Amino acid sequence: MTAFDVVMQQIVNGLVLGSFYALVALGYTMIFGVIKLLNFAHGDLYMVGGFVGFLVLSAISGITGGGWTGVAISMFLSMIAVGCLGVVIERVAYHPMLRAPRLSILITALAVSLVLQNTVLSITHGQYTAFGADFGFGGVNLGNVFITYNQMILVGIAAFLMIGLEVFVSRTQYGRAMRAVAIDKDMCQLMGINVSGVIAVTFLIGSALAAAAGTLAGAYYGSVWYFMGFLIGLKAFTAAVIGGIGSIPGAMLGGLILGFLEAFGTQLPGIGSEWKDVFSFAVLILVLVFKPTGLLGKSEQERM
Amino acid sequence: MTSNSNGAVPTHGLGPFLQDARLRWVVAIAILAFLVVAPMIFGSYITVILTNALLYVVLCLGLNIVVGYAGLLDLGYAAFFAVGAYTIGVLTIQFGFNFWVAFPFAVLAAVLAGVIIGGPTLRLRSDYLAIVTLGFGEIVRFSARNLEITGRASGISGIQDPSLFGWQIRTQTDYYYVFVVLAIIAVIASFRLANSRLGRAWLYVRHDEDAAEAMGINRVQVKLAAYVIGAIFGAVGGAFFAANLGAISPESFSFEQSVLVLMAVILGGMGKIPGVILGAFIIILGPELLRDLGEFRLLVFAVGLLLIMLFRPSGIWPGRRGA
């Protein structure tokens, strides 16, 4: 392979990886936007999404087969289920804490994350569960670079979801309300906006996007397990910070940048795949230290 | 005062029934007496568990300084524990140092790690700090797993037992007493710190950062002090942990370890020394009392943590209300 092929191959890899990161990062950034909470449980919603997708696919694969039709239906149902789970979590755990000190709500979010993780751990006994999607290995050759149809469909679905979100946020009534709540919650309340409703919708959408990513990742990588949300949760947060936390286009951009950084980072001498995760965290720390507002974020004076 | 629910003053952590100073001494001496005779009464199995619980007391009191006193959420505390343990492991095995020669380096390494990671990030919002510490914890563990010098995934084994003024620390009971002493030192240090000028500065910064800064407290410096002192507690615990087990591997320092220590601190009551000690014992003894829990162990603790945060955010120790 020539250097050009390596670059092309890593662009493809980065795009796939970046799609996952971006979908999860969107939820982080939206939830952060409306209630200024870093939802530690977000990565675990991705994980639960993967498991729900797996369950649905196992139930329907007799009829639809394990191909993309089945996966798309599983993804859709998983998005609904996990979206509702996200709303329940917000109502039960975060809503009573909104006026509490930040340390308390952060720990609550951590507790929710641990409850989700360990519930799945107890059910699955910590085993990897084979996903059972069956795609085949078709694809196209671009020079020496082979791109599978799966990769294209996956990136396509991710792009479709992100465009849908962008339209929702910029064109609809609820989207406008969401942007308003992100700016000034108390004023929105005074203007008659149903702030609790907007927060619920934000959790619904954010969690649903994480579930979509979880199902797609399960189908793409072939298995799901209880701890799969941990690393991607951290990395999606990194992506959200790179793009500027609170900014929706920022999350998409940050996801893609992190995907590319990681894909190309593994090619650098001395990094390789075993140092890949360390590399991502180092990027996170560097971004936080030197540009905490990210690329598209607004600078804000915030006290802890 | 603000509606800060975790704002009980650290120095007033003792329950209302322990307000009497004389009674407090009686209780302290009774606990001490129990700790001294415990290995003679119970078998070696329980001694091992108690040793572990005492190690947790040291770690939890260390994290308590960061989380309880200074109000910073640290999700990678196991990193400092790992730095202490691995410094001892690497220096004694790879470089042939004596344990006591290596020990100051373990503390120094933790201080350096604390400054390197805390220095630039303590200016950030507290939730950013939480995630940076989480990332740092993982970096340390990944590094231990990937580096040749730390023995990669299999870790380091054959760490020698140290001797102290001719006393060879060897048996499980010996280590038990070492950890009793460490725990007592940690308790005394925690009390002294809470009552110090620095302790009051932490309290102020935790309640109102801007006001504290306006009163001339250097916010970043004070937080960094908490972070570094917490790191030292962790490294000391880690150093003796390495000597006790004689073998360490990256999996001893996982995210789960950080979470367990944090849970103990919060369950017992952030910022309150007796509460934190109680939390450490609950986290270690709880699974022993409920052997059948198995995989449900962490789930039970996680649900407990959630319920505590929702219904009793100041922990289970009957601390003083208000403040």
**Which residues of chain A have a CB within 8 Å of the CB of B7?**
101
Q: How far apart are CA A28 and CA A26, in angstroms?
A: 5
> Considering the domain boundaries, does residue A177 fall inside one?
yes
Tell me, what's the ipTM? Answer: 0.84
Q: Which of residues 185-224 of A touch B (CB under 8 A)?
A: none
- pLDDT, residue B271, reads 84
A103 CB within 8 Å of a chain B CB: yes
Token pair recorded at residue B106: 């373990």
pLDDT at B320 over 70: no
Angle at B46 between CA B41 and CA B48, to 5 degrees: 120
> Considering the domain boundaries, does residue A118 fall inside one?
yes
Q: B5 falls in which pLDDT band (50, 70, 90)?
A: very low
- pLDDT, residue B3, reads 41
> Considering the domain boundaries, does residue A90 fall inside one?
yes
- pLDDT, residue A303, reads 38
DSSP state of A102: H
Q: How far apart are CA B87 and CA B111, in angstroms?
A: 12
Q: B1 falls in which pLDDT band (50, 70, 90)?
A: very low
> Considering the domain boundaries, does residue A301 fall inside one?
no
Lowest mean pLDDT among A159-163, B81-85, B224-228, B286-290: B286-290
> Considering the domain boundaries, does residue B161 fall inside one?
yes
Count how many domains chain A has. 1
- pLDDT, residue B321, reads 41
> Considering the domain boundaries, does residue B132 fall inside one?
yes
User: Smallest Cβ distance to A277: which of B124, B132, B142?
Assistant: B142
Count how many domains chain B has. 1
Q: For residues B19 and B213, is the Cβ–Cβ distance under 8 A?
A: no
> Considering the domain boundaries, does residue A22 fall inside one?
yes
Q: Residue A121: give the domain boundaries.
A: 3-229
- pLDDT, residue A192, reads 92
> Considering the domain boundaries, does residue A196 fall inside one?
yes
CA B66 from chain center: how many Å?
A: 9
> Considering the domain boundaries, does residue A133 fall inside one?
yes
Shortest distance, CA B120 to any CA of chain A (angstroms):
6
Q: How far apart are CA B116 and CA B108, in angstroms?
A: 12
Q: Which range in A214-218, A266-270, B43-47, B120-124 is most confidently predicted, on average pLDDT? A: A214-218
The dihedrals phi and psi of A142, each to the nearest 5 degrees, come to: -115, 100
In a mutational test of the A interface, the residue from B125, B141, B222, B303 whose CB has the highest number of chain A CBs within 10 Å is B125
Lowest mean pLDDT among A16-20, A248-252, B131-135, B317-321: B317-321
> Considering the domain boundaries, does residue A210 fall inside one?
yes
pLDDT means over runs of 10, chain A (304 residues) = 81 92 93 88 96 94 83 95 97 89 86 94 90 79 83 92 92 92 91 93 96 95 92 90 88 93 81 77 83 74 40
Q: For residues A34 and A178, is the Cβ–Cβ distance under 8 A?
A: yes
Q: Residue B190: give the domain boundaries.
A: 42-255
